[in-house]
Amino acid sequence: MAKKNTPITIGDIEVMPGERTSISLPVADLYTATSLSMPVEVICGRMAGPVMFVSAVVHGDELNGVEIIQRLLKRKALKRLRGTLLAVPIVNVHGFLNQSRYLPDRRDLNRSFPGSAKGSIAGRLANLFVREVVSKADFGIDLHTGSQNRINFPQIRASLAEAGTEELARAFGAPMILNASIREGSLRAAAAELGLPVLVYEAGEALRFDEISIRAGLRGILNVMRHRQMLPRVSTKSTLTPMIANTTRWVRAPDSGIVIKKASLGSAIRKGQSLAVISDPIGHEEQPVIAPFDGIVIGRTNLPLAHEGDALFNMASFESVPEAADAVEEFAAVHDADPNDVGSHT
């Protein structure tokens, strides 16, 4: 016989099994004395199961996750949820208001965890999120995009050495998994201290909605929830096998000038292949940007201008680049898109 779920308390509000509640966690006021709060949607299923958090906008200008969470919360299947879902579409409320990656004190929230209740504005926000959301979950998915003027191909970043993480990463169903070490001060680091596996989904660009990245993110979250038996399984034709990358590297501009890109996001590249050409303003002097190894382009700049040393293309290496390229093609087929269409903005 299925076991009944238990209540969960967020802030000072107790949510009972079978209830869905919107909670506002107060954060630092604006200096106009305008009150702000972090929105948390809590869905406490009737039957017992894992507690999962899904978060977005840890960086205030990374917006895809807001739409992913909105679409997730509209799913009718959540009426049959086992366990509890904690959905936080806007963690960094101040950065979101300012369309900025950072907090008003110019700190990066994702370098401020676990934070302190008596620390900086970033530290206090980090502490609130960990105390009220992360610490009450069994695992989580944190949604990100590339930074301003940079775009990422859909990917999962996770430390596969952490217990239970690789299983979740594979279940998500992104075409590639980056085995990324945990950075001090990050949300993943704070979660690891609590024994929670956390996946970081990276896709798209800051201050833009990218439809394919949004659809893939929603699908991945649902895949994980079904894998953990929080939602009923559904039949699917997709057998996408993610490829694991253990090494990534930014290819930098060898000179300053105008950048004419040749390599598209998600494309397979051979060592020595030209990724782009950098020219002077007149076009007389042209210098190629050469790939240093075989790999897949998982991120790139969107700017056509570069100074010497600027990061232009992020490449990932795999044991088998052809198999990784196949995973990219499978991903495109699942989402009815050409791989080169990832990054079209709305």
Closest to 340 measured CA to CA, from 86, 172, 329, 159: 329
Question: For position 333, what pLDDT does the model report?
Answer: 87
Where is 321: in which H helix or E strand? helix 321-334
**Per-residue pLDDT tens digits for 83-105:** 999 999 999 999 999 999 999 99
Question: For position 61, what pLDDT does the model report?
Answer: 98
Question: For position 346, what pLDDT does the model report?
Answer: 40
The ranges assigned to domains in the chain are 8-227, 246-341
Decide: 253 and 309 in contact? Cβ < 8 Å: yes
Question: For position 228, what pLDDT does the model report?
Answer: 98
Question: For position 105, what pLDDT does the model report?
Answer: 94
Question: Is 172 strand, coil or helix?
Answer: helix
Where is 22: in which H helix or E strand? strand 20-27
**Per-residue pLDDT tens digits for 5-47:** 999 999 999 999 999 999 999 999 999 999 999 999 999 999 9
**Per-residue pLDDT tens digits for 36-85:** 999 999 999 999 999 999 999 999 999 999 999 999 999 999 999 999 99
Domain 246-341 indexed as CATH 3.30.70.100: no
Question: For position 285, what pLDDT does the model report?
Answer: 87
Decide: 93 and 38 in contact? Cβ < 8 Å: yes
Decide: 292 and 316 in contact? Cβ < 8 Å: no
- The identity of residue 322, as a single letter, is P
333 CB contacts (<8 Å, ≥6 apart)? none
Point out the residues of the chain with pLDDT beneath 50. Answer: 344-346
- Which overall architecture, per CATH, does domain 8-227 show? 3-Layer(aba) Sandwich (3.40)
